[in-house]
A = this chain, B = another copy of it.
Amino acid sequence: MRVEIWSDIACPWCYVGKARFEKALDAFPHRDGVEVVHRSFELDPGRAKGDIQAVIPMLTEKYGMSEAQAQAGEENLGTLAAAEGLAYRAQGRDTGNTFDMHRLLHLAKERGRQDELMQAFYEANFTEERSVFGDDERLVELAAGAGLGEDEVRKVLADPAAYADDVRADEREAAELGANGVPFFVLDRKYGVSGAQPAEVFTQALEQAWASHSPLKLIQQDDAEACGPDGCAVPQQH
């Protein structure tokens, strides 16, 4: 069974939602039969690469909150994160363009290190003072910590086209699946869970998707004209 998670590194609910989902997944009896894939979604795709801003002014400017509302929201997120055992830096975070991080997550997927890198990005963004924005070497360091080769990471960062199509394709798919916010969880392309739901909701979704996970229905007419490890079917004239 496959669970795809659309999310953005800059999305606090994605950080919290991942922990809630993993709580359910770790307790799921068929855990070994579940593959998790992270998919790209940018909350603010129009933000230029160098445009880095503190979170509180961003919230007040972009969403019209008062500074007190914005700060209270961050504090509440910190409390909710703590309930999941997560650290959360409610003061002084910044935000910026996440496209390069999404490109690196696609590289990491090919290397089998995607979940490690996603978690490293979240922890760096939500718990550490040093910014993840505007500093390629910071991303190299995080990616290396997640098990990627520094050289290949630098190569991807230096080539803006690398994995760009993969990021765009994920975002197109999110739209096609009806996701207009993140985190968005899709189980076997059949069930969807929107938002950082409680772990019990993820448990229910996993159980439901597992129960309805059915083998392929084979559609065919003739004996298969196919090749296998023991050779190819001998052609018959139709």
Chain A residues engaging chain B, CB cutoff 8 angstroms = 8, 10-14, 16-17, 43-44, 59, 62-63, 69, 73, 76-77, 79-80, 83, 110-112, 163, 165-166, 177-178, 180-184, 186, 188-198, 200-201, 204-205, 208, 214-238
Q: Give Cα A227–Cα B17 distance, bound, in whole angstroms.
A: 11
Taking the closest CB of chain B, its distance from the CB of A97, in whole angstroms, is 15
Q: A183-B226, A194-B220, A195-B233 are in contact. List 12 more A-B contacts (CB 8 A).
A: A12-B232, A13-B225, A63-B231, A110-B165, A111-B165, A181-B228, A182-B228, A190-B214, A193-B220, A194-B218, A194-B224, A195-B220
User: Which residues of the other chain, B, contact A83 by a CB distance below 8 angstroms?
Assistant: 238
User: Which residues of the other chain, B, contact A217 by a CB distance below 8 angstroms?
Assistant: 190-192
State the oligomeric state as a number of copies. Answer: 2
Taking the closest CB of chain B, its distance from the CB of A192, in whole angstroms, is 4
Taking the closest CB of chain B, its distance from the CB of A220, in whole angstroms, is 6
User: Could you tell me if B198 and A219 are in contact, using CB atoms closer than 8 angstroms?
Assistant: no
